[in-house]
Copies of this chain bind each other. A is one copy, B any other.
Amino acid sequence: MLRRVDADLSVPELMAEIGRRARLAAQSLSTASPDQKTAALVAMADAVDRRTAAILDANSRDMANGQKAGMSAALLDRLKLDESRVAGISQSIRAIAGLKDPVGDVIAEWDRPNGLHIERVRTPLGVVGVIYESRPNVTADAGALCLKSGNAVILRGGSDSAHSSCAIHEALLEGLLAAGLPDDAIQLVPTTDRAAVGEMLMGLAGSLDVIIPRGGKSLVARVQAEARVPVFAHLEGICHLYVDASADLAMARRIAVNAKMRRTGVCGSAETLLVDRIAAPTHLVPLLLDLKSAGCEIRGDSAVKDLFADVELATEGDWSTEYLDAIISVKLVDGVDGAIEHINHYSSHHTEAVIAEDLRVVERFFNEIDSAILLHNASTQFADGGEFGMGAEIGIATGKMHARGPVGVEQLTSFKYQVRGNGQIRP
């Protein structure tokens, strides 16, 4: 992009131009053949592999800047690439290349009594905007998922990872050109001026169909509050694990530790454990001992503290806190009714799990809680497009419009109706 956009443009002019180019690219992508898109993706993966040294070199510049700026160890780890992480990037592109092409898929079809045959057929959405922070791999994942689904994408990465993203983007462009696809199909915004984000939130004068923010809560909150175009996002994952009196205790213990501790920084990590009051005498202490010995801090309500002294007393704020850390809030509830009531009050509508052998409890939990993902006898950490079999995800959405849960290639499509007749007129 840098080489082709006039350097004298103001940010609004630059972004409008990027939007226009994306719209044109989207038009030609919408009729690109599945083979052409797959070829481009494979060429991208090859280019990433071949350019590994250049990508690592660019990343070391970002890392040096980050260290100089006093970036936290956690952020530096998100930013850091090494040979195996770059190989992971190209592997991920290859996996997306191997997915079924969603465009043209007949989602439903039926005949009408007058002989009309109606098909609902998948189409690309158009132009996707992705606003992300320090993870450079989002450049490749988002670019590849959007291409597979026939969408043009405008990528706005964080300034912290600008060199890394740019080096990865060069590899994506090489793949597009090798397959004869327009390089405007995957554009990286060539400025770190924050005004560029503001322009994207306003929709680039109708050139942007949806925005996907990938990053911390403040980024997502800003996008959700200000965007004038649809947003696929989740603000946070306040995920609950409810252990019913009918639960298999051994299973509940295994799942509780996994749901909280497998990775504490992911959105599907459990933040609150709800235990059926009836089962507390038998189930609570083993569950909390397991969590403790896995290194988890426990904040419990007073009923929990009565049964297990070694906990900090939870405050009201704990029930709506996404710790993203080795901390869990724990509460006794009155059966599935109490669990449903607590979750419907505090949940971020992301993911909730119930551990129970009583299937009536499961049905009530599934029917009366309106979260994107509900799990029975499984860890909340399965909240992931890859684990759902979608191949890859560009994020997880908690809104109820269009996409909900993991956003993969199918969720990046719309549809149109194709109706075939033989001369029908309407009476």
Contacts and interface: CB of A to CB of B under 8 A. Distances in A.
Contact of A378 (B123, B381, B401, B421): B421
A30 B371 CA distance: 13
Nearest to A250: B423
A47 interface: no
Contact of A419 (B118, B376, B401): B376
B118 A255 contact: no
Main secondary structure of the interface of A (DSSP, over half): mixed
Given A262-B425, A374-B419, A389 B110 contact: yes
Contacts of A382: 116, 419, 421, 424, 426
Contacts of A373: 416-417, 419
B423 A370 contact: no
Given A255-B423, A262-B425, 6 more contacts: A366-B418, A376-B420, A377-B421, A377-B423, A401-B414, A404-B415
A230 B299 CA distance: 39
A424 B377 contact: yes
Number of identical monomers bound together in the oligomeric complex: 2
A251 interface: yes
5 contacts: A255-B423, A262-B425, A362-B420, A382-B421, A401-B402
A31 to B, nearest CB: 6
Interface string A31-45: 100000000000000
Nearest to A362: B420
Contact of A375 (B104, B254, B375, B421): B421
A123 B401 CA distance: 11
A424 B210 contact: no
